Structure 1
Amino acid sequence: MKKQFCVVSCVVWLVACGGGGNEQKTEVIPPVTPPSVVMPGQPDDGLAALSPITPDNVEHLAGGDVTTIVSNQDAFSQSAPAIRSDFELDGVFKSGDHLFRGVHAGQGPLFNNPTCQGCHIKDGRGEVPSHPSEAMSSMFLRISDAQGNADPIYGDQIQTFGLKTGQSQGLLPKHRGAIEEGIAYGEAYAWVEYQLIEGVFDDGTPYQLRQPTYKVKDLSYGDFNPDVRLSPRVTPSIFGAGLLEAIPEASILSYADADDVNKDGISGRAVFVTEPISLQSKLARFGYKAVTASVLQQISGAYRGDMGITNVVATQESCTDLQPACIEQAAQEQDKEQDGLDLSALALAQVEFYNRLLAVPMRRGFDSNSQSWQADVLAGRTLFFNAQCASCHIPRHKTGEAQGSLLGDAGLLDLADSRTPIAALSNQVIYPYTDLLLHDMGGACELIARETAQGEACDDGAQCYWVQRCQGLADDRPEGSASGTEWKTPPLWGLGLVKTVNPRATFLHDGRARSISEAVLWHGGEASAAKDNFKAMTLTERDQLLTFLNSL
C-alpha cells in the first residue's frame, strides 16, 4: 500500500527598519507528518511471522501446554495437564464437570435442555434433530424484531420445553396452551426441512448442499411480533475457551480491518460489550455473533436461557412479563441455593473454571519421533494460506496473563475473595485458527411468512406455521453489534475430531453442513474469494486441504 507524504515548507522574509539598515530573517516550518497507517495482522506478541510453507516447531501442540493427547470420543473433555497434579485445582475442575453434567434444582420453568452437557454433547457440538418429530434439544432459535430487540412475549430465545409442578418431563408447546390453561408449556416447536442444491467444482466434480427452511408452530403464549426475526443455533464445542479468553485484546484488534485498509476484501470488525460484573467495556469474543466478553458471561447467560437457572450474573427467570403462566410456575420453585437464586456463586465459579481449563486436542498428522508432518497435511496447510482462508481463520495467537474469575477463586467448599491469575492458561502459544472478529458472510432472507403445512398463505390459527427461508448464511437477525449477515469467525481447532466425539454432529452455526467440504462451500460475502479458490482446486488439492483441516 502506498503512503502519501505531504511536505510543506514556507519561507517568510521579514523586512524591518532599524538604525543599522535592513535585516532579513528566514523562518522554516517543519514538514507535516501524515498519520501512520497500521496495517492489520501485526500483533505485538514477540513471535516471528508464521510461514505458509513451514509450520512452527510446536504447531502440533494446538493449545500450547493446555494440549491433550487424547483423540477418542473423550477428546474434548480433558483437563489442562498442569492442574492434574494440584489436588485443589483438579478437585475444582471435577466439581465443575459434575455440575456441568447434572440437573439443577430450580430448573425452568422454560428451558431447552436440563443440563449443560445435554447441549454441549461430550463438551462438543450439539445436533440437528434427525426428523421434524424430534424436538430440538441441543439447538434452538434466537428471536427478535427487525432491529434486534427481544420479542415482547418470547424474549430473545425460543425455549422448547416447560415445566409443571409434580411433572419431571418437559412439556412440549401447545397452541395457546399457556394462555388458555395457565400451564407453563414450552414456548414454541421448531424444526428444519432441507432442499438439496446441486453444484459443481471447477473440475466438473459434482456436490450437493442442504439449504434449510425453518418452521415454527404451536406458539403457547400467543403470536410473535409482526417483524419477527429468527436465527437457528447449534451449540458449539467449548474446549479451549479459557485460552481464547486469555488472548490480549490488543492482539485481536491488530487483525481488525473494518475499512479494509489492506484491500484484501476482508473486513474483520471488533465488538465491545459491557461485562456485567465489572461493568467494564470489553472485547466480545464468544457467541456466534460475538455478544459476550468472557466465559463467565457466556455460561451464566446459558444457565438462564438454556436451562432456566438463575445465578448471580443472570438473576431474572427466563419468563417475560407477558408470560403469566411461566411467572406463576417460577414462584412455586423450591430449593434455591443462594439468595433466592437457583445456582450459588460457588457452583457457577466451579463451572466457569471447568469450562476455562478444558484442554485442546493435539494435532494429528505429526510424527513426534521424527518431528515431521504428513506430506498431505503440509501441502494442505499451504493451500489453506494461499486460498485466503488464513485471512479470517488466523492460525496462531499468544495468550497474556489469564485473569482469575470475577467471582473470586473457586475452591472445593468456598469462594475466596481473591482473583488469582490462572498460570496454566497464561503466556501460551496456541493455534486456534480464528481472529474472533465479525465478518459479513453474505446472503439474504425473505420476510418470515405464515403458511399452512401445504404451503398456502394463512393469517391465524394452529394450522399456520411461521416459515423462514434464507439464501446463503444470512439469518436477517441483528444481534448486539452484528448485522443479519455477520458472523464471528469460529475457531477450527478440534475440527477433525468433531464426528469422533459425536457422530451425529454437523457443521456451521445451524448444522446444515454434513461435511467440512460443505461448510467451506457455504462461505460467501467476505469469504467468497476463499470459497472460489477452493472450488478451483484440483481433486488432489481439495483432498490435501481437507486432510489438513481434519488434522486440526
Structure 2
Amino acid sequence: MLGCRGTEVTHSFNKLFILLALSSLSACGGSSQSDSDNQNQNNASDNGEQVSNDTHAFNISVEDGLDPLLTNKPDDSEHLSAGLATTNIIDNNAYSKAIPAIVETPQLDAVFKAGDHTFRGNHDGQGPLFNNTSCQGCHIKDGRGQVPASIDEPMMSMFLRVGDNLGNVDPIYGDQIQVFGTVEGQSTAVLAKYRGALDEGLAYAEAYTWVEYETITGSFADGQSYELRKPIYKIKDLAYGEFMENVQFSPRVTPHVYGSGLLESIPQQSLLAYEDPNDNDKDGISGRAAFTTHPVTGERQIARFGQKAVTGSVLQQISGAYRGDMGITNTINPDEPCTEAQEACIAQAALENNKHHDGVDLNNVDLAQVEFYNRTLAVPKRRGFEASTQTWQADILVGREQFYAAKCHACHVPRHKTGVAPGSVLGDVDLVGLSESRTNITALEQQVIYPYTDLLLHDMGGSCRVTKELADGQSCTQGQQCIYVQRCEGLADGRPEGDATGTEWKTPALWGLGLVQTVNPKATFLHDGRARTIQEAILWHDGEAKASQQAFINMDKVQRSALLAFLGSL
C-alpha cells in the first residue's frame, strides 16, 4: 500500500487543525503559512528548489515533544530513518545490521550474532510439512522474498494461505499450503503427489502452487502508457484430498524483518489515534486497528505484524513462522503442522526423535535469541541527503511534496516516536541460557522514526473467484487433471484473516523501500510480488487508496519521476 488516509488525533482541537491544514494542500488550492514558513519557502526558492505553499500538513498530538511535521521542509533528522537505530550501510547487506547501540555493547552484540546464526540455519525436527528450511531462506538477506522465476520452480519464499470466504481454515490443509514434505528414507524434501498421502500413507507436500500472469495496460493523464502484471494462482496435485467448499487462496511474498522491534515499540495509543473506522471525517479513508491475544500473557493487544495484521509481537510472529513455515515446533506453538485429517503427516511426525527441548523442536534460548535478533535489526539511512551541507537532492524534495499532495501520508504515516521496549516474555537471554528478569531494550526506546506506516487495516477493494479447470481452461469437478484457479480483481484475496476482511491489508512500512532490489535483485513489490517496480505498486492501489492512485496518474512525467525519486530514497 502506498497511499491512503488522512490523519486523526486524539484531541478535537488538533483534529480540526489537521483537517484545515490538509484542505490547504496546494494540489487542492489555497495556502496557509506562518512568517517562519514563508521564510523557509523564500530561502528554498532562492536556492532554486521547487516548493509548495503547504506548511503544517498535520500535527500528531501523541508525538510528545515533537514539532509539527511540515510538507515543504523535511525534519532535521529525517535522513535518519530510525533515529539512533539507523545504520549507514546501504549496500546489499543494508537490512542485516544491528542497531549501533547493540554493536557497541559486547554482551548484546553476542546475542544478536547468535540469533543471526540460528535465523540463517536449518533445524532438527524439520517438517513433516514445510515451505522452507530456514528463516533466511524466506526473508532473503533479512529483506523480501521473491516470486518463482517459472511455473516449474516451487514457491520457496512465498506461499498461499488457504481458507473459505468466511474466514474458516481448511479442515484438511489448515491455514496455509506447504509445498514440501518429509518421507522417511528420503534425504531430500518431496513435492506433492496427487493423493499420495492418502494412497501411500506418506507425508508428501500438500499441493503444488504456481502463478501465471495476464498483462493489462493503461495510461497516465499525459498519455504515457504502462503495463501491469495481473496474477492468476493455480494449485494442483492435492496430496490429502479436495479443498473445502468456497475455498479462497491468499498469496504472500515474505516481507522484510528489519525495524520490527521499533514498530513493536510504538505506543499503542499512538496507532489508535489514526483510526477512523466509520470515516467520520468523510475523507474516504477508514483505517482501523486489528487486535490479537498474546499467546503467553493472554493480553489483548494491537496486531502489528503479518500482512493482514494478525500478530501483536515479534515473538508471536516468529514462533508462528517457525511452526507454519518450517515445521519447527516451539513452546509458543508446540503442535506439528499437521491437521487431524492428515494421518500421513501425523505418522511421520511421530518418527521424529529429537524433541528433547521440553517436547518441542526449538529450545527457548534459541527462540529468544532469534527474537532479539529480529527486534534489533537496524534500518538503513535515507539516500539523497548530503550530511556535510545538510541538504537534500532537489528532486527528492519535490517528490516529498508530491507524496503529501497525493495524500499518500494518510496511510503511510511518516513519523512516529517509540516508547518503552520491554524485554522478552521468555526472559533475558545470553549465549547459554535465560533468566527470569526482563530488561528493557533501551536502544529501541524514545526514538523518532520515519517508517511511513500507520499499521492499520485499509480496504483496498477488489474481489476474487475460484474455479476448477483443466489445463486448457475447460471446467472440471475432480481428478488429477483438475486444477484450482483463483482470479482476482484488484488487490483482494477474498480470504478474511483475524480482524481483516478479504479486501483489507495492513499498511506496510516503506522505510528501506529504495534498497529492496539492491539487497535482492529478484525481489518485487506488494504483498504478492506482482509489481515489478514501485510505480507498478502505486498503480495497483484501489479502494481507500483510489484517490492517491488517481493523483499519481494525473501527475506529469516530471512530478511522477520526482515522487518515485522520493520513494526510492526511503
Q: For the superposition of Structure 1 and Structure 2, which TM-score range results when normalised by the shorter chain?
A: over 0.9
- The number of aligned residues is 517
User: Deviation per CA, 1:77-114, whole angstroms, max 9, x where unpaired?
Assistant: 00000011222101100000000000000010000000
User: Deviation per CA, 1:414-449, whole angstroms, max 9, x where unpaired?
Assistant: 011011110000000000000000000011112x11
1:343-382 aligned within 5 A: 343-382=362-401
Specify the alignment match of 2:215 in structure 1. 196
Cα distance in 1, alignment partners of residues 245 and 258 from structure 2? 39
Cα distance in 1, alignment partners of residues 383 and 355 from structure 2? 46
Residues 38/146 of structure 1: CA separation in 2 closer, same or farther (3 Å cut)? farther
Specify the alignment match of 1:57 in structure 2. 76
Residues 495/418 of structure 1: CA separation in 2 closer, same or farther (3 Å cut)? same
Specify the alignment match of 1:385 in structure 2. 404
Q: CA RMSD in A?
A: 1.1
Cα distance in 2, alignment partners of residues 337 and 86 from structure 1? 32
Specify the alignment match of 1:426 in structure 2. 445
Residue 452 in structure 1 maps to residue 452 in structure 2: no
Residue 69 in structure 1 maps to residue 102 in structure 2: no
Displacement of 1:37 after TM fit? 8.7
1:245-256 aligned within 5 A: 245-256=264-275
Displacement of 1:226 after TM fit? 1.2
Displacement of 1:336 after TM fit? 2.1
Cα distance in 2, alignment partners of residues 455 and 181 from structure 1? 30
Specify the alignment match of 1:260 in structure 2. 279
1:436 to 430, 455, 458: 455
Displacement of 1:133 after TM fit? 0.4
Residues 290/37 of structure 1: CA separation in 2 closer, same or farther (3 Å cut)? farther
Corresponding residue SS for 1:460? coil
Residue 330 in structure 1 maps to residue 349 in structure 2: yes
Cα distance in 2, alignment partners of residues 401 and 435 from structure 1? 18
| Stretches of 4+ aligned residues off by more than 2 angstroms | 35-43, 165-168
- Contact 1:190 1:215 (8 Å CA) reproduced: yes
Specify the alignment match of 2:118 in structure 1. 99
Q: Which amino acid aligns with 2:92?
A: Q
User: Deviation per CA, 1:36-60, whole angstroms, max 9, x where unpaired?
Assistant: 6983873422212110110000000
1:15-414 aligned within 5 A: 39=15, 42-46=60-64, 47-414=66-433
Cα distance in 2, alignment partners of residues 424 and 73 from structure 1? 24
- Contact 1:245 1:294 (8 Å CA) reproduced: yes
Report sequence identity in percent.
60
Corresponding residue SS for 2:377? coil
Q: Which amino acid aligns with 1:405?
A: S
Residues 386/161 of structure 1: CA separation in 2 closer, same or farther (3 Å cut)? same
- Contact 2:165 2:502 (8 Å CA) reproduced: no
Q: Which amino acid aligns with 2:202?
A: I
Q: Which amino acid aligns with 1:307?
A: M
Displacement of 1:527 after TM fit? 0.2
Residue 509 in structure 1 maps to residue 509 in structure 2: no
Higher helix share: 2
Cα distance in 2, alignment partners of residues 267 and 397 from structure 1? 20
Cα distance in 1, alignment partners of residues 238 and 123 from structure 2? 26
Corresponding residue SS for 1:449? strand
- Contact 2:422 2:438 (8 Å CA) reproduced: yes
- Contact 2:90 2:380 (8 Å CA) reproduced: yes
Specify the alignment match of 1:11 in structure 2. none
User: Deviation per CA, 1:354-390, whole angstroms, max 9, x where unpaired?
Assistant: 0000000000000000011000000000100000100
- Contact 1:93 1:354 (8 Å CA) reproduced: yes
Corresponding residue SS for 1:233? strand
Displacement of 1:337 after TM fit? 4.1
Corresponding residue SS for 2:437? coil
Displacement of 1:145 after TM fit? 1.6
| Contiguous gaps of at least 5 residues in structure 2 | 1-10, 19-57
Cα distance in 2, alignment partners of residues 168 and 144 from structure 1? 31
Cα distance in 2, alignment partners of residues 500 and 267 from structure 1? 34
Specify the alignment match of 1:485 in structure 2. 503
Cα distance in 1, alignment partners of residues 141 and 12 from structure 2? 48
Residue 530 in structure 1 maps to residue 553 in structure 2: no
Cα distance in 2, alignment partners of residues 110 and 496 from structure 1? 35
Corresponding residue SS for 2:159? strand
Residue 545 in structure 1 maps to residue 555 in structure 2: no
Specify the alignment match of 1:29 in structure 2. none
Displacement of 1:334 after TM fit? 1.8
Displacement of 1:227 after TM fit? 1.4
- Contact 2:14 2:61 (8 Å CA) reproduced: no
Q: Which amino acid aligns with 2:164?
A: D
- Contact 1:43 1:252 (8 Å CA) reproduced: no
Q: Which amino acid aligns with 1:176?
A: R
Cα distance in 2, alignment partners of residues 244 and 392 from structure 1? 15
Q: Which amino acid aligns with 1:493?
A: W
Q: Which amino acid aligns with 1:225?
A: M
Cα distance in 2, alignment partners of residues 201 and 85 from structure 1? 50
Displacement of 1:525 after TM fit? 0.2
Corresponding residue SS for 1:528? helix
Displacement of 1:160 after TM fit? 0.2
- Contact 2:308 2:497 (8 Å CA) reproduced: yes
Specify the alignment match of 1:3 in structure 2. none
Corresponding residue SS for 1:381? helix
- Contact 1:52 1:385 (8 Å CA) reproduced: yes
| Contiguous gaps of at least 5 residues in structure 1 | 1-34
Residues 475/495 of structure 1: CA separation in 2 closer, same or farther (3 Å cut)? same
Cα distance in 2, alignment partners of residues 300 and 463 from structure 1? 37
Per mean C-alpha deviation after superposition, the further-off stretch among 216-225 and 85-94 is: 85-94
- Contact 1:43 1:250 (8 Å CA) reproduced: no
Residue 466 in structure 1 maps to residue 484 in structure 2: yes
Cα distance in 2, alignment partners of residues 314 and 187 from structure 1? 20
Displacement of 1:210 after TM fit? 0.3
Specify the alignment match of 1:14 in structure 2. none
Cα distance in 1, alignment partners of residues 84 and 514 from structure 2? 20
Cα distance in 1, alignment partners of residues 516 and 215 from structure 2? 23
1:417 to 436, 439, 443: 436
Residues 337/499 of structure 1: CA separation in 2 closer, same or farther (3 Å cut)? farther
Specify the alignment match of 1:20 in structure 2. none
The TM-score, its normalising length taken from structure 2, stands at 0.90
Q: Which amino acid aligns with 1:374?
A: Q
Corresponding residue SS for 2:83? coil
